[in-house]
Chains A and B, each alone.
Chain A
Amino acid sequence: DTGVSQNPRHKITKRGQNVTFRCDPISEHNRLYWYRQTLGQGPEFLTYFQNEAQLEKSRLLSDRFSAERPKGSFSTLEIQRTEQGDSAMYLCASSSTSGGAWNEQFFGPGTRLTVL
């Protein structure tokens, strides 16, 4: 399977614990995005990378959230001191900038986080 993959698919944690999610983009894609989707809502942009550089962060990304893409390939999203409001589906997407004016974002299956 050469699509975007995310691990784990599901994570249940207790409030106050730290969690880390991983995203592996399509191999030739240089851009990688993180979105959050809460119940009954559409995905909301969190941050994105071009290669290893983090180019934009949403105000939704509080100080407890940190994302990295150290080698320009996979990315991790860490949430420290989780809160119940962090419960959501975390979606990763990737794209290539070689396509011209518009670059389709391909989505992964998501990581569903439940904070108890």
Chain B
Amino acid sequence: AQTVTQSQPEMSVQEAETVTLSCTYDTSENNYYLFWYKQPPSRQMILVIRQEAYKQQNATENRFSVNFQKAAKSFSLKISDSQLGDTAMYFCAFIINNTDKLIFGTGTRLQVFP
């Protein structure tokens, strides 16, 4: 079975601090992509960052970076210098190469406090 587990239903962080959201996944496939999506309250989901499974180097997008551990099937998201606008649900997801079906975790609700 292909699954994504996000063990932190809720997290909070103070503005300007750093927070890490955890994610583990399970698949027997070797070629896939991993993603973190952000879903702000009452707004549409947007892609935050992606990681190709064949790349060892961790992806970075401005204040967002990942820690990808392929052997452990772990894919955590680090948000540095947190901003109030980062308040949202964050979903970890993956997609197997040559398929088009995103598989999502249950999400982590992140609250950034001033």
Contacts and interface: CB of A to CB of B under 8 A. Distances in A.
B106 A41 contact: yes
B93 A48 contact: no
A48 B44 contact: no
Contacts, number: 50
Contacts of A35: 102
B91 interface: yes
B33 A102 contact: yes
A45 B101 contact: yes
Interface in A68-116: 91, 95, 101-105, 107-110
Contacts of A58: 101
Interface residues of B, number: 22
B104 interface: yes
B106 A108 contact: no
Nearest to A41: B106
Contacts of B103: 45
Given A108-B44, A109-B43, A110-B44, A42 B97 contact: no
A40 B106 contact: yes
A58 B50 CA distance: 24
A22 interface: no
A42 B93 contact: yes
A3 B44 contact: yes
Contacts of B33: 102
Interface in B78-114: 91, 93, 95, 97, 100-107
A31 interface: yes
A21 interface: no
B45 interface: yes
A42 B36 CA distance: 12
Interface of B: 4, 33, 37, 43-47, 50, 52, 91, 93, 95, 97, 100-107
Given A33-B100, A109-B43, 15 more contacts: A3-B44, A4-B44, A42-B105, A43-B45, A43-B91, A43-B104, A45-B102, A45-B103, A91-B45, A95-B100, A102-B33, A102-B52, A107-B37, A107-B46, A108-B44
